Chain A
Amino acid sequence: MSEWSRVTRPIPVPNEWTKPFWDSAKRGVLALQRCQTCKHFQHPPYATCVRCMAIELAFEPVSGKGQIYAYTIMYHAGDKRFAAAIPYASIIVELDDAPGALLAANLLGAPYTEAKVGRRVEVVFEPLNDDITLPQFRLARDSG
């Protein structure tokens, strides 16, 4: 199991496009930007819908269930703050509700060797400070 307790993560700085994502995460809700015209979810947030070019976009909650689209196991701490967790799994999650919108995360609560393409995962929330809470993922409880 990767040792995350001694890792100091860089703190995300919300901007005008991303603030609703972080505001939702703080409330324990995973919300992604959605085109109000074609209903396409996208992540990271962007100025326009990258599918239909509409500019009417809003953040809507998603279920937080999905699967590991891809992953890497980090053995080299380019950022020394992550050295304590090595080796650790950095994963890319594709959500059931938002095909094509890929979220980066770590695989929490399981040995890094459990990271495999296609494994079912679900969102959990990791508070970094009073303002910022990181969406993270663990193996889905119903995945067996």
Chain B
Amino acid sequence: MWEHRCKVAVSGVGFSKVTRSAEIPLAAHALEAVRGAVEDSGLAMSDIDGLATYPELPATGHAMIDGVTVVSVNCMMAMLKLPNLTWHVQVETVNIGGAVQQAVNALLAGVCKYAVVWRAMHNPKGTYQNLPGTYAQGPAQFTAPYGFGGPGQGMAVAYTRWLERHNQPREKMATLAVTQRRHSHKNPHAYFCGQPLTREDYLNSRMVAYPFCLYDCDIPVQGAVAIVLTTAERARALKARPAYIAGYGQRLAFEVAGRIGSLSSYMEGGRSSSRLTWERSGFSPKDVDVAQIYDGFSASVIYGLESYGFCKEGEALDFIQDGRIELDGELPLNTFGGSLGTGRIHGLWHIIEGALQASGRAGERQVADVNVSFVGASAPIVQGTTFIFVREPY
């Protein structure tokens, strides 16, 4: 087991307004979320001395404008002018979960005391995935000429392989979409809060990239979420009950850029990340009381459930049936609605919900008697990170 388990905790979370398109600059969303997280923890902004993020827009063919399409550490520093800042970082390889893990490491190293991590997501005007122009350069030269565009198609090909290898019908995924939508109705910050989705809506919805229909894809939105992390000792003195980080991991496999995701590479990404998390925490899948698994595309949940070890390969679409992922089920899943319910804010919202469930602060959607709370914060293949939060240090 990891000697540093339960030595760092999440002690505040914050949310901005989530809108379908950009009405105010993204920096204003990020600021609202960071202020909310600091207030939730009971700290003053001047206490914050660490900053970390993953500033990225997953859309292609759009200009990167700091404060408008991304919110970098520099942008946040310029806004906050923190008098006691001692540490900051931006990560590249494993999405926002990597920024959280770097903040954990910085706190353990004693180079900062109260770190804020945020994820801000922009919804650009026009087509989300603007494919290359007349020419396809770099890795895209082997994909764009064939009409392969955004990550949806890259995910869809692995999903067809999964479905046909395991002889499973895509219609079973309706349970995930409908259940998560229902969960999102208990999350006032979620984009789809209050908008019902029925099994029939799912089954009759238009196809985007078979086997993905509209409701297998998270909706692009504009918004931000943030957390405050600190050492366990400091966290106990703050307003919010701490959610202790018992272990984390990141994917350790990478395939050559430009190759369309193969099913085996998704699985290896998830296995490598979760193995570290199980070993460090000392827990196993059967110990988990509640799980958040990244669902930018619905099939990520399938790869996650299987590669993290919650069920065997080929069984995930059966695993999610029969009430198992309901709030009172055997493995309540994506209890905040997931990205399918909140809109596309990436994995920090999964991390936030994992922390809230562990600390008993999930309100109306709180799962009973949670101690071990699992998070798979990004698609396992290229960006995968995993976490375990616990209510009681051990």
Contacts and interface: CB of A to CB of B under 8 A. Distances in A.
16 contacts: A10-B145, A13-B135, A13-B136, A13-B137, A15-B137, A18-B141, A44-B256, A50-B255, A72-B160, A75-B209, A78-B131, A87-B210, A102-B259, A106-B146, A117-B160, A118-B164
Interface string A51-84: 0000000000000000001111111101111100
Interface in B156-189: 156-158, 160-161, 164-165
Given A78-B150, A104-B260, A70 B157 contact: yes
A7 B156 CA distance: 22
Interface in A6-37: 7, 9-15, 18
Interface in B23-80: none
Contacts of A117: 160-161, 164-165
A79 B147 contact: yes
Interface string B194-226: 000000000000111111100000000000000
Given A70-B158, A103-B142, A117-B161, A10 B134 contact: yes
A100 to B, nearest CB: 8
Contacts of B129: 78-79
Contact of B142 (A7, A44, A87, A91): A44
B149 interface: yes
Given A42-B256, A74-B147, A75-B206, A15 B138 contact: yes
A18 B208 CA distance: 31
A105 interface: yes
A95 interface: no
A81 to B, nearest CB: 8
B210 A90 contact: no
Contacts of A13: 135-137, 141
A71 B134 CA distance: 25
A11 B211 CA distance: 28
A74 B153 contact: yes
Interface residues of B, number: 47
B160 A71 contact: yes
Given A87-B207, A91-B157, A117-B165, 18 more contacts: A10-B135, A10-B140, A11-B134, A13-B141, A44-B257, A72-B157, A72-B211, A74-B147, A74-B153, A76-B207, A87-B210, A90-B147, A90-B157, A104-B142, A104-B146, A104-B148, A104-B260, A117-B164
Given A11-B135, A44-B139, A71-B160, A82 B165 contact: no
A54 to B, nearest CB: 15
B205 to A, nearest CB: 11
B73 to A, nearest CB: 31
Contact of A44 (B156, B258, B262): B258
Nearest to A112: B210
Contact of B208 (A14, A70, A76, A82): A76
A41 interface: no
Contacts of A80: 127
A44 B139 CA distance: 8
Interface string B243-259: 00000000000011111
Contact of B128 (A44, A78, A88): A78
A98 interface: no
Contacts of B91: none
A79 B149 CA distance: 7
A72 B153 contact: yes
Given A44-B142, A104-B146, A134-B145, A10 B260 contact: no
A9 B256 contact: no
Nearest to B127: A78
Contacts of B156: 72
Interface string B114-145: 00000000000001111111111111111111
Contact of B145 (A9, A74, A92): A9
Given A44-B259, A72-B157, A72-B160, A10 B144 contact: yes
A50 B282 CA distance: 33
Contacts of B238: none
B259 A75 contact: no
Q: What are the nearest 9 A-B pairs in CB distance?
A: A12-B141, A72-B156, A73-B210, A79-B131, A70-B157, A10-B136, A70-B161, A117-B164, A78-B149
A134 B142 CA distance: 9
Contacts of A7: 147
A12 B142 contact: yes
Given A69-B262, A79-B131, A90-B147, A12 B136 contact: yes
A47 to B, nearest CB: 9
Nearest to A89: B210
Contacts of B260: 70, 92, 102, 104
A1 interface: no
B167 to A, nearest CB: 11
B193 interface: no
Nearest to B210: A73
